[in-house]
Structure 1
Amino acid sequence: MTVAPTTTATPAAAWDSYLACLEEADEYAATEVATGLLAAGVPAERVLLDLVAPAQAEVGERWARNEWSVAQEHAATHISERVVAAVASYVNPRPTRGRIVVACMDGEWHALPPRLVAEVLRLRGWQVTFLGASVPAAHLVSYLHRHDAHAVALACALPVRLPHAHRMIEACRRVDVPVVVGGRGFGADGRWARLLGAAWAPDAPSAAALVADERALRRVPPAELSHLADDEYASLLKRRGELIDGALAELRERAPGTRDYTPSQLDSTISDLGYIVDFLAAALYVDDMSLFTEFVGWLVEILTSRGVPAPAVAVTLGHYGRVLRDFPRAARFLDEAHSSVAATGGAGSR
Structure 2
Amino acid sequence: MHAAWDEYWRALCAADRHAALEVVKRLTAEGVTSRQVIDELVVPAQARIGELWLDDRWSVSQEHAATAINEGLVHWLGSFAPAPQPGQPLVVVSCLEGERHALPALVIAEGLAASGYRVTYVGGDPEPGDLLRQVLLLKPRAVLFSASLTSSLGSQKPLLGSIGAIGIPVVVGGQAFGGDGRRARALGAAAYAESVEDVVRLLRELPERMPVSTPPPATEADVEAAWIVEYRHEIAPYVGRAVAQRHLGDGERPGWWREFEDHLDHVLGCLASALVTGDETIMIEVRDWMEQVLTRRGADPSVVAETWQELAVPLRGHPLARLYLAGSAAPAVGDGMAEVSV
Please tell me the residue identity of whatever aligns with 1:200: Y
Q: Which whole-Å deviations, capped at 9, do the CAs of 1:3-27 have from their partners, x for residues lacking one?
A: xxxxxxx4x5522221111111111
Alpha-carbon distance, 1:68 to partner: 0.9
Q: 1: distance between equivalents of 2:28 and 2:44? A: 18
Q: Which residue of 2 aligns with 1:23?
A: 13
- 1:128 pairs with 119, 125, 133, which one? 119
Q: Which residue of 2 aligns with 1:106?
A: 97
Residues 141 and 245 of structure 1, relative CA distance in 2, 3 Å threshold: closer
Using the size of structure 1 for normalisation, the TM-score is 0.85
- 1:205 pairs with 188, 197, 212, which one? 197
Superposition RMSD on alpha carbons, in Å? 2.9
> Helix, strand or coil: the match of 1:339?
coil
Unaligned runs of 5+ in 2: none
Larger relative contact order (Cα-Cα within 8 Å, sequence gap ≥ 6): 2
Alpha-carbon distance, 1:150 to partner: 1.4
Residues 173 and 231 of structure 1, relative CA distance in 2, 3 Å threshold: closer
* Residue correspondence of structure 1 range 242-257 to structure 2 within 5 A: 243-257=235-249
Q: Which whole-Å deviations, capped at 9, do the CAs of 1:6-54 have from their partners, x for residues lacking one?
A: xxxx4x5522221111111111121122222221112221211222111
Higher helix share: 1
Q: 2: distance between equivalents of 1:129 and 1:238? A: 30
Alpha-carbon distance, 1:70 to partner: 0.7
Q: Which residue of 2 aligns with 1:93?
A: 82
Residues 170 and 239 of structure 1, relative CA distance in 2, 3 Å threshold: closer
> Helix, strand or coil: the match of 2:83?
coil
Alpha-carbon distance, 1:79 to partner: 0.5
Using the size of structure 2 for normalisation, the TM-score is 0.87
Q: Which residue of 1 aligns with 2:141?
A: 150
Residues 219 and 59 of structure 1, relative CA distance in 2, 3 Å threshold: farther
**1:140 aligns to 2:131 (yes or no):** yes
Contact 1:196 1:224 in 2 (8 A): no
Q: Which residue of 2 aligns with 1:307?
A: 298
Q: Which whole-Å deviations, capped at 9, do the CAs of 1:52-98 have from their partners, x for residues lacking one?
A: 11111111111111111111100100111111122122x23120322
* Residue correspondence of structure 1 range 35-74 to structure 2 within 5 A: 35-74=25-64
> Helix, strand or coil: the match of 1:95?
coil
Unaligned runs of 5+ in 1: 1-9
Q: 2: distance between equivalents of 1:39 and 1:68? A: 32
Percent of aligned pairs with the same residue?
A: 33
Please tell me the residue identity of whatever aligns with 2:270: F
Residues 85 and 248 of structure 1, relative CA distance in 2, 3 Å threshold: closer
| Paired positions, count | 335
Please tell me the residue identity of whatever aligns with 2:111: V
**1:177 aligns to 2:177 (yes or no):** no
